[in-house]
Amino acid sequence: MGEKHKSTKPPHVLLFPFPSQGHINPITQFGKRLNSKGVKTTLVTTIYISNKTLSNNTSIPIEPISDGFDDGGHQSADSSESYVNKFREVGSKSLADLIRKLNSEGNHIDAIVYDSFITWALDVAMEFGINGGCFFTQSCAVNNIYYHVHKGLLSIPPNATVSLPGLPNLQPSETPSFVHNPGPYPGWAHGLFNQFSNIHQARWVFTNTFYKLEEEVIEWMRKMWPLKVVGPTVPSMYLDKRLEEDNNYGISVLKPNHTECMKWLNDKPKGSVVYLSFGSGGKLGCEQMEEVAWGLNESNVDFLWVVRETEKEKLPKEFVAKGLVVGWCNQVEVLAHESIGCFVTHCGFNSTLETLSLGVPIVGMPQYSDQTTNAKCLEDIWDVGVRVKADEKGLVRRKNLALCIKEIMEREQGVVARRNANKWRDLAIQAVDEGGSSEKDINEFVFHLKA
Ligand code: UDP
């Protein structure tokens, strides 16, 4: 049966990201690359996310499964722990049911590429004799730190400077928040440290980064696992342009104010606009929101600020924005616009890769999770901007924000940051273009699937 199947049908890969926009984007984008190389893919996501999805402009069909929270997703769980436990319990069963269903329809599965957060997907895959590939959506630097915690080689919280293979020395506050301040979300923290529990059984380990960006730590990881470095998973039209019309991620759970953003940006001079976004799930507190709002108005720059509808009530009552505030945008298209001069970012890893791939300098305003480490890398290693300092309450004050924006928009530091960002942009393009390091790793995977 195997022989017949291989000769007549393209290989079929299930893609299974953690159910949130920041995880769906990179894995879907990887799926598009696989499609372009003759591999069929199916995206598995939760019923909740599938129902919320406004559009799927990709050619990747979606198969919904239950995570036990069909009506409200993980936001409706009592705690991160209860979500993680229920997702494992209900998700394992529903993923197995889906595999049975696809098999019974003659829709044979050759591999499951699963999010590194969802270790149990590999157990399910193996029950069916399917190869699993673990996909890390975070940087290798961050994976390295979590790996050392997992192995008991790094204490939580660290009590001194952290020194790990392939990484510069890190202050405890520059490690991910789950390491230096593990309190608030024990379920997520445990999930992140646990990503490596069955990794030795994965047939492939994918990571959304590129060789030149994290060379040393990639070399260190390659010695342990069958690593495939496949990033940056930014839509192709901003990089190698080989996937025609691929100019956005294609699966969105929030509606972008696309026309309004583009119209507004088109009227602005080159490099004059500050773009701000704090990601798809992160929330600023009311006081922080107020500081950002007044900091922007006081700094007298044109700004485009993404404030999700659910966050808008935190804007100060008397605030009349001197820029444009939108509920959601197509971020890559915004970053690619020539009017953009600087990105004030929470430093989520997709945003990090996007800003590097589009050559936009940053002001880093990390909030939690891996963002603190990404911000450190952006400022000190990749040299594409500055981190804005928070006060003793952990809040970024308006004056500091305005000063950092000025530094990037008006001073020599901004010129250097943009020059470096453009250098990373060239390297990102080379990585995914024909013959590049990521292209080579993707081709090797496809070759295994087709062999
Ligand atoms: N994003 C977007 N529109 C917005 C804000 C964000 O399309 O208005 C996308 C952004 O391009 C990125 C993702 O949402 O791909 C956010 O991922 P990231 O890892 O940066 O942050 P997270 O949401 O996981 O905190």
Q: What is the DSSP string of 100-168?
A: HHHHHTT----EEEEETT-THHHHHHHHTT-EEEEEE-S-HHHHHHHHHHHTT-S-SS-SS-B--TTS-
- Pair (205, 280) in one structural domain: no
Q: Are residues 233 and 274 in the same domain?
A: no
Closest ligand 1 atom to 347 CA: 20
* Confidence (pLDDT) at 7: 54
3-state secondary structure of 1: coil
- Are the C-beta atoms of residues 15 and 42 closer than 8 Å to each other? yes
Identify the pLDDT of residue 4. Answer: 42
| Residue 228 phi, psi dihedral angles, 5° rounding | -125, 115
The answer to whether 425 and 359 are in contact (CB under 8 A) is: yes
pLDDT in tens, the chain (451 residues): 344 444 578 999 999 999 999 999 999 999 999 999 999 999 999 999 999 998 888 999 999 999 999 999 998 999 989 999 999 999 999 999 999 999 999 999 999 999 999 999 999 999 999 999 999 999 999 999 999 999 999 999 999 999 999 999 999 999 999 999 987 778 888 889 999 999 999 999 999 999 999 999 999 999 999 999 999 999 999 999 999 999 999 999 999 999 999 999 999 999 999 999 999 988 999 999 999 999 999 999 999 999 999 999 999 999 998 999 999 999 999 999 999 999 999 999 999 999 999 999 999 999 999 999 999 999 999 999 999 999 999 999 999 999 999 999 999 999 999 999 999 999 999 999 999 999 999 999 999 999 9
**Is 345's C-beta closer than 6 angstroms to any atom of ligand 1?**
no
Helical segments of 284-340, H only:
286-299, 331-335
> Quick check: CB of 366 below 6 Å from ligand 1?
no
Predicted model pTM: 0.96
135 and 274 share a domain? Answer: no
Q: Is 332 touching ligand 1 by the criterion CB < 6 Å?
A: yes
Residue 185 has what pLDDT?
A: 78
Same domain as 155, residue 83: yes
Parent domain of 26: 2-249+433-450
CB distance 288 to ligand 1 below 6 Å:
no
Tell whether 302 and 419 lie within a shared domain: yes
CB pairs under 8 A, 24+ apart, for 406-410?
A: 406/299, 408/341, 408/342, 408/361, 408/362, 408/363, 409/274, 409/301, 409/341, 409/342
Same domain flag for 199 and 332: no
Inter-residue contact 362 to 388 (CB < 8 Å): no
pLDDT at 182: 81
At 160, the amino acid letter reads A
How many Å separate Cα 345 from the centre of its chain?
A: 13
Main-chain dihedrals φ then ψ at residue 256, nearest 5 degrees: -75, 140
Whether 12 is a known active-site residue: answer no
Q: Give me the torsion for CA of 136, 140, 146, 148, rounded to 10°.
A: 130
**pLDDT at 2 (0 to 100):** 42
Q: Residue 302: beta bridge partners?
A: 273
What's the CATH code of the domain at 40?
Answer: 3.40.50.2000
Query: How many domains does one find in the chain?
Result: 2
Active site residue 115: yes
Segments in 200-359 forming alpha helices (H): 215-222, 258-266, 286-299, 331-335, 349-357
What's the CA-to-centroid distance between 332 and ligand 1, angstroms?
9
Shared-domain flag, residues 202 and 156: yes
Question: Helix or strand or coil: residue 395?
Answer: coil
User: Both tokens of residue 417?
Assistant: 């940051």
Q: Does 281 lie in the same domain as 152?
A: no
Same structural domain, 259 and 242: no
- Spatial distance between the Cα atoms of 301 and 325, rounded to a whole number of angstroms: 13
Residue nearest to atom 11 of ligand 1 (CA): 331
Residues 238, 339, single domain; the answer is no
Q: Are 203 and 227 in contact (CB under 8 A)?
A: no
Q: Indicate if 123 and 143 belong to the same structural domain.
A: yes
What distance lies between CA 51 and its chain's CA centroid? Answer: 22
439, 365: one domain: no
Residue 201 buriedness (CB in 10 A; 0-12 / 13-18 / 19+) = middle
Residue 152 CA to ligand 1 center (angstroms) comes to 32
How far is 139 from 366, CA to CA, in rounded Å? 15
